Structure 1
Amino acid sequence: MVKNKNLNVSTSDFKLSLDKPVDFSFSQNDPASKPFFTREVNPPLALCDTEILDLSSQSGIPDWFIVYQKQQQDQTRFLNQRLNALEEVMAENKRLRTYLDLAHQRIAELEAQVSTEAIPTLVLDAKATQGTEASKYATQNASLTSTSKPLSFAAVATKGKDAPAPKSKAPARRRKTTARQMEAIHRRFVPVAAHHDYEYVYLPSRYREPISSLRSKLHKLKINNARVLDVHYPDRQVVALLVHTEYTADLLATFAKAKVVLYNGLSSKRKV
């Protein structure tokens, strides 16, 4: 049997027979079934891990009683675990309520501090004057006078007398016509020659170089690259320049002046 000094239940009318299962329920009229404490008066009793006698080794104990004893032990452990968890939740709840009260107190202090401090007034800047009103010669409250009283022609003339004259844009500088442009204009009005054709002029070349580099050298010889329509290498150590027949004479004269000899392996001039 479980011994607990806090429980004082009369067992004079309680009889235990080990020959058959026992009904441990109590009727509602039984005084022993009434609770001996209330939540308002007494705190709930903590379940204590009382030692229950192990009757499994005793002879003559029915099996159902041993099973019942095991169930009671398991239930006692379960209730103790739930009770411990409940106590932890209650402690955490108490701690959170304390923090909440402190937070409310701090909020009230800050609200009182804000209400007592003076709120600075906002001063809107006056609208900036623009146009003639911004001039140093403009009278005070020019905008008010302009709306209330129209200005006369003499006042308007006097007001704008000392105003600086608007700056006129300088005319765009015209580019000087280059010699190449003048030459192109001159060819525009020259009659077409009788032999209107294109031909190649061949020159010796020690090695092949990029066309851009070769045209750069022609430019240094005062040759108009716009009149040289094509540049290519027809053979080893030979370069060919395609020009119009009208420009052939000028090209040969330029080469002769620069002491550049034409290539003799091919026809120095070949019509296309």
Structure 2
Amino acid sequence: MRILFIGDVVGQLGLKLVQRYLPELKRQLKPQVTIVNGENIADGKGITEKLYKALLQAGTDVVTLGNHAFRKRDILDFIDDAAKLVRPANFPAGVPGTGYTIVNVNQTKLAVINLQGRIFLDAIDDPFTVADQLLTEILKVTPLVFVDFHGEVTSEKLALAYYLDGRVSAVIGTHTHVQTNDARILPEGTAFLSDVGMTGSYEGILGVKKEPVIHNFLTRLPARFEPIEEGTGQLGACYIDIDEKTGQAKKIKTIRIDRDFPLFEV
């Protein structure tokens, strides 16, 4: 099975980039499942039902979230009915939505789990323990398991990947919006990447206008960070090939599309 994963979609420009490039990436790569992190798609923080459906219409099979999952209040009106939307599974008990979903591909099943780190983010439940709990049930159904680990710290992401090595097919990081250069397959067969990168503006700072960010660093005064909705864009992604019998990853390759790395035969 081949999985295509696109990182943090920021604002309307990010959505336009998915709509523009996903058909060509699918033509070239022929993935069986496409997963997109959409937690920044609504004005840079959160997601709405309209934008969730726009990602599905663009060719997405599963949408993952992160620490901004509930920034838009209307998510409470649809998240429980959104079968292809997963928020971090280690949110406390009683939080709406689900932390994983299972995708059927012909006769094969793929579980997609969303987890959130705790270092420099909200002190929610332990992702390591929650992963253990979920896998107790999921591995009875399928050995193919993809984890979007939404975290700030590289060491926490790598630690979780080693902790789950051999029990999941991939642990791919999101949240920091900068694609890292450490794609690898761990000793027991789990694909790992600290951060897949973002999809949005290539001109600002992590997808938002640079002036308020610089002002905040200079003064330490609060500033409103607004996504850049036009101009040059970038798309960060990766694809992973998984053995359908064992669930082990056979290949992981990063994808970067921007002004300096235009789309080519990937």
Higher relative contact order (CA 8 A, sep 6+): 2
Structure with higher helix content: 1
TM-score bin, normalised by smaller chain:
under 0.3
Larger Rg: 1
TM-score, normalised via structure 1 length: 0.16
TM-score, normalised via structure 2 length: 0.16
Structure with higher strand content: 2
